[in-house]
Structure 1
Amino acid sequence: MPWKKNLINLTLISVFTIFASAYQWSEEDFIQFISDKLNKYRGTWPVEKAYLHLDKPYYVTGDTLWFKAYLAEGSLHLADSASNLLYVDLIEQRSGNNAALRRVQMSGGAGHGEFVLSDSIASGAYTIRAYTNWMRNSPEEFFFQKSIYVFNYQENKVQPNVPGPVDLQFFPEGGHLVADVNTRIAFKAVNATGSGQDVAGFVLSQGGDTVASFKSEHLGMGRFQFAAKAGETYQAFVRGEGGKITAIPFPKVEDTGYTMVIDNLSNPLKMRVIAYAKMPGKSEIPVHIVGHARGIVAFVAKGKIGSRGLLMQLPTTELPDGITHLTLFDDTNKPVCERLVFVNHARSLRVAVKPSKPEYKPREKVNLEVMVTDSAGKPVEANLSLAVTDAGQLLQPAFAQNIVSYLLLSSDLKGSIEQSAYYFDPENSERKIHLDYVMMTHGWTRFRWEDVLSDSIPPVKRYVEQGITLEGDAKRNNRKLTEKTALSLYLSNDSLSTFMTSETAENGHFTIYNLVFSDSLQLRLQGMNKKGNQNLSFAINPFDPPRASVVRIPFKPVTVDAQRLADFLKNAAQDQDIARKIRESRERLLREVTIKAKKESPRDARKLYSSADATLKVTQQMASGNMSVLDMLQGRVAGVSVTGSGMNAVVSIRGNRGEPLFVLDGMPVDKSLIASLNVYDVESIDVLKGPSAAIFGSRGGNGVIAVLTKRGNDNYDYSQDIVPGVLVTKIAGFHVPREFYSPKYGPANAPDPTPDFRSTIFWAPMLHTGRDGKARVSYYHSDATSPAEIQVEVLSPTGQPGFGKSAYSVR
């Protein structure tokens, strides 16, 4: 990349000073010191970034959420990152429970998958997350996270968001408000939903004089000039609805310190850095200014702050697109001021989406061509994903985040960046100054200088995963082992059969790394110590997803048009009704053909009830894909909702507020006991609702989940008991993506009378452009006569992102 060449010869950067300030070229020892520290830190803590392209902005129960996953190295955004396993999960925001999880196999930084949102899933706000095991060494805020909303198709109106109280914060440029130094103060106001809120107000001195006024310009953000006086304290006030005045804390004035003001807007080729210092007893203070882009040193410059300050003009032509982080180091090499600037040379990929014609008819074949070029107009081979949606049902949010705005902006900042694509749209004439407000009000998140400059960097706790990890513990007589024990593993599924050997640690813990298989794998694990003693027991550790933050404020994190929502839910209800009738028709046909008479079967003594409202027969395949009994219920029984997994799962039966009564082989038990059962010991699960549960009295008021085990059956074959020292089980592997169904119409196919009002008309997650930079797709449009919207997201192997959109009419 062009900007990397500049890192080799740092002295090429021209720096000029005025205000009678002295300047000399950067010292090689300090350059080497900073470069070594950053390189060592990056070598120990390299960054990965994950991004998901979803097929649409919101969903309905019974729908399918399709996603394309991108995984990139964090500094240069190279598409092929180290990890080959990406975890994608769906978190219910109110409870923080993990509703579903996918293990996505990544190849060349790309993968895809889906979540089937069964009709038992609770409607509401969800967060979809994407992260690797390596990314778990850092806080959750480094994961890719996107809020979505799942509607129930019976909902018929949009509940308006109530703004609530406003949170207003002030940010002195460079980080400090120093007495008798004129600087700029940025501010940002957000409401209770987390969205920017327009505000206006003023600042009073302790004597009650108005010394400044402010008014937001964009999404609750703005800035104003301010000169603090020594010994003075200030208070800000905001004018609310009805003229109400609210007091807001204002930054404290520091008697001594440094300030740094950046002008990155006046000149497209250079940025001006102006630094001031107020330090008693020092007339000239040697300082360094270090600029790095995503952890790679871009320049180091040295100057002296005199009585009239220091000004440097730094060329930006060789800096990469994205955030450059400027830090002012004092004469003791301590970081004292920081400021972010955004550099945009428009080097992102150009994505042109061209339908073969501007207008189509319902169910007509549509041909699309996607052309990807670089900023110079040359074709680019790249990986891309394409979504076509019905604009009559779905309203795309204004300036919603895309892969360009995420990789270059949002992924390196604290907090949520609202309407992040706004800052990359050339039609927005004020976008550059508004983006500078973002730079002043959001901090850098990737590292702290204290950690980088530390003599010792703490070792990482989690590793890079190339495949599935099998981890567990072996015990003897329920006690930890005291010596290493040899293990033999036999792994098999429909397409794989292999034998492996390993050994435990002295405490019995064992880990098998980088297993590559899809769906599930049958495991036969056996251990033997040096004396030939096989009397061991094994426990496989289930995957423990990272904890999610609970969002307690109710809101819909989407922009929804009332009419579009009504059409969306109406069509969703119609589609589900058609699917239900097809299932019922097949069931009736099956009963008419195969059932001749009802066979009397002996009554099961474990059942107090005569019949259940629903019965789930547990098969080997069903058990192999789930870690607990409650996981098996998820999405398989209508009206039963299971959120979370394992011991954290929450179960409810539609129409009831509390959790149902849990019964094991006829005896009421705690949910924890049900969750801890071995899934392969379960024979069937009965669900009782309403009147059917009345036999259990008031305890069954919220319904009953009755679990029947194989061992509890009088006809259980005890020869099937597991041999001591041997564990036979199944483990989950990479998710096997489903193929998006796209119907085929036309004269060669029989007419289909079924109404077709897909909200997602077409989804193609794994497209590639050729040497000519082009990719082509074809599909048939739905019955809708509203316009179709097309969105394409792209990432090249060299780390260049791109985004494009288009539309066509239907009549």
Structure 2
Amino acid sequence: MIRFLFTLSLIFWGMGKLAYTQGVAQKLTSHLSTYHIEKVYAGHDKPFYLPGDTIWCKIYLLEGRTHRSFEGQPVVYADWIAPNGEKQQSFTLKIKNGSTPLDIQTQAEDSAGIYTLRVYSQYQRNFDQHFLFQKEIRLLGKDDITEKEQKAPGGFSVRFFPEGGYLVAGLESNIAFKAQNDLGENIVVNGILLNEANEKIGDLKTLHEGMGLFKFTPEKGKKYSAEIRYEGYRKRFALPEILPQGFSLNVNSRSGDQILIKLGTNLQAGLSGCTLIGHVRGQIFLARELEAGLPSLSVRKDLIPSGIVHFTLFDQGQRPVCERLVFNKNPAERVDLNLQVEKNVYGKREAIKLQLVPTLQDRIQASQLSVSVYYEGSTDLTVNESNILNYLWLQSDLRGRINNIQQYFETDNTTTNSLLDLLLMTHAWRRFRWQSVLSGQSPSIVYPPEEHLSVAGKVTKAGKEQPVKADVLLNVLSEEQFTALNVTTEADGLFYFKGFDFQDTTDILIQANIHQSKKKKKLKEDKVEPTGNKNVSIQILELNELDFIDSVSIPAQMHLDQTLQQYAYQVEQNRQLDSLNNPLWTIDLETVTVRSGLNRAQLREQTIKKQYREKGLFYFHSTNKFLTDDPLYAGFQNNNIFDLIKVVVPNTTRVRVNGEDKIIYGRFSSQVEAKIVLDGQMVPPNLLMNIDPDRIAVIDVLTGYYASLYTKSGVVISLVSRNPDEIDHRRPGIISFAHPGYYQAREFYSPDYDLAGTAEQKPDFRTVLYWNPDVRIAGTPENLSFFTGDQAGHYLILVEGITDAGIPFYKTERVIVED
């Protein structure tokens, strides 16, 4: 409330012409009210992994301006992308109370290298892809942790950024610059400033991460250049053009308690009638019309939200003439996370008790957070990568990679703030342009906010692209959430069903008929009948895949290759020892390759899908399928199809009624006669004996709603033949597919060695001792406990979270496990 009242006082502070100033501020407010901003952040348990590791994540979806959680339960998507840019895994996630867990299982066969985790909402696709959360994650391996081939840069470049945007004759200006080689790497350079007569007028050199700063006063009509020296090379770069008339905007945010603003102009009218606007993420805290004789002013830091501050100067005609970005660290928004452990050194398999107390101004803050405890190796590793605090306040609103971003937040002093200010001077970029604001042009919202799953498609004439008005029936074939929905399309043939919340992969059946209003076939809501029309085709529409843009990724944490090599070697050795005691893994000692033993079911599923695809049959994810060549059935002699079904399908009985063989399915009172279908077609009883059992590849048992696609009988046994040259019996005007449901994250396992029978001799070389993505704190401290394993070394306790008020926080603590 204090901040809000102060904001109002700033907005009306010293205004002489209220309507004019309100005009600029009101246009910004109106522009931002036409759309909202969404931010996604993904925290994970440790900075790097080995192939075969699980990546444990916590995904946040927040309102982009306040960083508070959204009401409702939005949907987000996560992609795991290989080093070659191809998507390996995708996940659909349901956000609850602002977040959701996710686990990504890498494979032991995965190649080492830089992978990418991309997480986003569909609504974010309305804006520049640079706003999406996209982070590099490194999988270590023997191949990539050895000495890398160094590419020789072919040259270098230097860019100049005058403070406020322009160099103006007669006005002193700060000029930031950034130097990079042709590989995009920051470099160290030095040089001199030259005037038109090639006379030296000053020196310059980089100060940090390829960035530097110098100050000078340009003269009207003159041109200036910089001669830059880099590794024995000299290169000359022209400075930006000098404006004969204009404005200057100098902002100093290096002090700890206030931001100083200095304005200048060489125009005869001076600054009188100009307007200065200040905002953080669209939240206006300053809108002031300037008066004559007011070249400077100051604003207290503790009354402005933390994050990137935008100052924009408008001339008397409401044209933006200068802009400056600075960073504000509001001391009143500095959450103090009290992270307490009983001691710093522990033994093997010893309990660690941890207490968490996030406070702000000595009050415990209602918060949600994640806790990870992971193995660093034999020495502490510097952690300067992204976290929820530096991402929400800085990286998410700034274009381009920021190396070692956490270095700008470790301390709050003049030196660190000066480097952060230099960073912002060389990254002038924003989420909107003033030209769009002043002209009333709002962004085009094509993708609406999404809280449920949906299905969209198009009906066309068979074999043609011509759309047709059609009656479309969608059936959700799930015992738990069976749904039958009808819709009549327009002439464009487009249909759209929404409002689904599938908790698992769910089978969908869609049927379409050319719309005839007088003869429209009516179906009862609990009926499912194959009504597809042979004259139409159905196409499911999906959103275009996002392009993979490597340059927008948050860089992976950097460590010395030797450090990573030692870490990877130690973890690999422990994994091999552990696998000898774990039946889920096998090791080929000759090749020292770890192979997973859990892929048989996946291979079996692929084989079945291939059979269905070759036949053009519906593949239903949830039905019971049996491969007839399974070794389990090898010892049986099947003289006919009835023998085969009886052997393969549980709960089946062969009976003879009125001279005809039949299959009865079920137990006792629930037994019913099963109808037999071959390659999608019902087979008359008198022809069943003619079917060669050796021709059958798959037997699929359909019950309930699935069976009703073929018959009103309660059970259908569907036979799929081996021969791919059989007639394609695809039903016209009908399609089926498995719709992905929300991913259900696994629970992290942490052993309790106090329990009887747990402290066995099996080695415990876990690299992650503890992971909890759902720690929620109300008004009391949170106490957690977990056990160390058998690996001695240094461990990092990593905590990151956000208060209910939208203030992020981050804290680390180290402990040592001794032999």
Q: Tell me the TM-score normalised to structure 1 length.
A: 0.78
Match of 1:502 in 2: 487
Aligned CA distance change for structure 1 residues 469 and 30 (closer, same or farther; 3 Å): farther
Secondary structure (helix, strand or coil) at the match of 2:339 reads strand
Match of 2:736 in 1: 728
Say which of 433, 436, 455 aligns to 2:421: 436
Aligned CA distance change for structure 1 residues 793 and 323 (closer, same or farther; 3 Å): same
Q: How far, CA to CA, are the matches of 2:430 and 2:552 in structure 1?
A: 24
Say which of 285, 292, 304 aligns to 1:319: 304
1:297 aligns to 2:284 (yes or no): yes
Match of 2:339 in 1: 353
The one-character-per-residue Cα deviations of 1:400-438 (angstroms, maximum 9, x if unpaired) are: 221111111111112122222222223765111112112
Match of 1:123 in 2: 112
* Worse-superposed segment, 50-59 or 566-575: 566-575
Say which of 732, 749, 753 aligns to 1:745: 753
Shift of 1:289: 0.5
Match of 1:65 in 2: 55
Say which of 760, 771, 779 aligns to 1:763: 771
Match of 1:254 in 2: 243
Shift of 1:488: 2.2
Aligned CA distance change for structure 1 residues 366 and 435 (closer, same or farther; 3 Å): same
Say which of 456, 470, 480 aligns to 1:471: 456
Aligned CA distance change for structure 1 residues 741 and 48 (closer, same or farther; 3 Å): same
Contact 1:158 1:560 survives alignment (8 Å) = no
Contact 2:73 2:94 survives alignment (8 Å) = no
Q: How far, CA to CA, are the matches of 1:425 and 1:169 in structure 2?
A: 28
1:807 aligns to 2:814 (yes or no): yes
Contact 1:568 1:759 survives alignment (8 Å) = no
The one-character-per-residue Cα deviations of 1:482-540 (angstroms, maximum 9, x if unpaired) are: 55433222214464323333343421122222321223111122223224484132222
Q: How far, CA to CA, are the matches of 1:207 and 1:64 in structure 2?
A: 63
1:419 aligns to 2:404 (yes or no): yes
RMSD (CA atoms): 3.5
Match of 2:390 in 1: 405
Q: How far, CA to CA, are the matches of 1:463 and 1:70 in structure 2?
A: 19
Contact 2:578 2:765 survives alignment (8 Å) = no
Match of 2:660 in 1: none
Shift of 1:550: 4.4
1:537 aligns to 2:537 (yes or no): yes
Secondary structure (helix, strand or coil) at the match of 2:797 reads strand
Match of 1:527 in 2: 512
Match of 1:274 in 2: 262
Match of 2:43 in 1: 53
Secondary structure (helix, strand or coil) at the match of 1:289 reads strand
- In structure 2, give the amino acid aligned to 1:788: Y
Match of 1:795 in 2: 802
Q: How far, CA to CA, are the matches of 2:6 and 2:412 in structure 1?
A: 31
Q: How far, CA to CA, are the matches of 1:411 and 1:543 in structure 2?
A: 24
Shift of 1:335: 0.3
Shift of 1:328: 0.4
Shift of 1:115: 1.6
Aligned CA distance change for structure 1 residues 172 and 615 (closer, same or farther; 3 Å): closer
Give the 5 Å matches for 1:300-699: 300-304=287-291, 310-346=295-331, 347-374=333-360, 376-392=361-377, 396-426=381-411, 430-479=415-464, 484-493=469-478, 495-528=480-513, 529-530=515-516, 531-532=519-520, 534-535=532-533, 536-550=536-550, 558-560=558-560, 562-572=562-572, 574-575=574-575, 579=579, 582=582, 616-618=603-605
Aligned CA distance change for structure 1 residues 712 and 184 (closer, same or farther; 3 Å): farther
Secondary structure (helix, strand or coil) at the match of 1:134 reads helix
Q: How far, CA to CA, are the matches of 1:481 and 1:160 in structure 2?
A: 55
Match of 1:34 in 2: 24
Q: How far, CA to CA, are the matches of 2:304 and 2:578 in structure 1?
A: 56
- In structure 1, give the amino acid aligned to 2:402: I
Q: Tell me the TM-score normalised to structure 2 length.
A: 0.77
Say which of 76, 96, 111 aligns to 1:86: 76
Match of 1:597 in 2: none
Contact 2:350 2:788 survives alignment (8 Å) = yes
Give 5+ residue unaligned stretches, structure 2: 521-530, 589-599, 620-679, 681-695, 699-718
Q: How far, CA to CA, are the matches of 1:7 and 1:552 in structure 2?
A: 34
Contact 2:452 2:500 survives alignment (8 Å) = yes
Q: How far, CA to CA, are the matches of 2:782 and 2:28 in structure 1?
A: 40
Q: How far, CA to CA, are the matches of 1:51 and 1:550 in structure 2?
A: 18
Aligned CA distance change for structure 1 residues 240 and 371 (closer, same or farther; 3 Å): same
Q: How far, CA to CA, are the matches of 2:35 and 2:584 in structure 1?
A: 56
Say which of 142, 152, 155 aligns to 2:141: 152
Match of 2:170 in 1: 180
Larger radius of gyration: 2
Q: How far, CA to CA, are the matches of 1:385 and 1:684 in structure 2?
A: 48
Aligned sequence identity (%): 26
1:219 aligns to 2:209 (yes or no): yes
Aligned CA distance change for structure 1 residues 569 and 34 (closer, same or farther; 3 Å): farther
Shift of 1:304: 4.5
Aligned CA distance change for structure 1 residues 482 and 565 (closer, same or farther; 3 Å): closer
Aligned CA distance change for structure 1 residues 789 and 283 (closer, same or farther; 3 Å): closer
The one-character-per-residue Cα deviations of 1:200-240 (angstroms, maximum 9, x if unpaired) are: 22211221111121222222223111111222222212222
Aligned CA distance change for structure 1 residues 393 and 520 (closer, same or farther; 3 Å): farther
Secondary structure (helix, strand or coil) at the match of 1:421 reads helix
* Worse-superposed segment, 286-295 or 448-457: 448-457
Match of 1:713 in 2: 722
The one-character-per-residue Cα deviations of 1:230-264 (angstroms, maximum 9, x if unpaired) are: 222222122222x4323234222222222111123
Shift of 1:160: 7.5
- In structure 1, give the amino acid aligned to 2:122: N
Q: How far, CA to CA, are the matches of 1:74 and 1:546 in structure 2?
A: 21
Say which of 127, 143, 163 aligns to 1:138: 127
Match of 2:702 in 1: none
Higher RCO, 1 vs 2 (CA within 8 Å, ≥6 residues apart): 1
Give 5+ residue unaligned stretches, structure 1: 14-23, 589-612, 633-679, 686-709
Q: How far, CA to CA, are the matches of 1:552 and 1:107 in structure 2?
A: 28
Secondary structure (helix, strand or coil) at the match of 2:751 reads coil
- In structure 1, give the amino acid aligned to 2:440: D
Contact 1:73 1:81 survives alignment (8 Å) = no
Match of 1:287 in 2: 274
Q: How far, CA to CA, are the matches of 2:413 and 2:149 in structure 1?
A: 28
The one-character-per-residue Cα deviations of 1:715-774 (angstroms, maximum 9, x if unpaired) are: 8987x94432322221112111122232343461254444332222221111111321x2
- In structure 2, give the amino acid aligned to 1:237: E
Shift of 1:777: 2.3
Aligned CA distance change for structure 1 residues 778 and 730 (closer, same or farther; 3 Å): same
Contact 2:31 2:440 survives alignment (8 Å) = no
Q: How far, CA to CA, are the matches of 1:585 and 1:344 in structure 2?
A: 49
Aligned CA distance change for structure 1 residues 283 and 514 (closer, same or farther; 3 Å): same
Aligned CA distance change for structure 1 residues 778 and 283 (closer, same or farther; 3 Å): closer
Shift of 1:161: 6.3
Aligned CA distance change for structure 1 residues 274 and 104 (closer, same or farther; 3 Å): same
1:781 aligns to 2:788 (yes or no): yes
Shift of 1:476: 2.5
* Worse-superposed segment, 542-551 or 355-364: 542-551
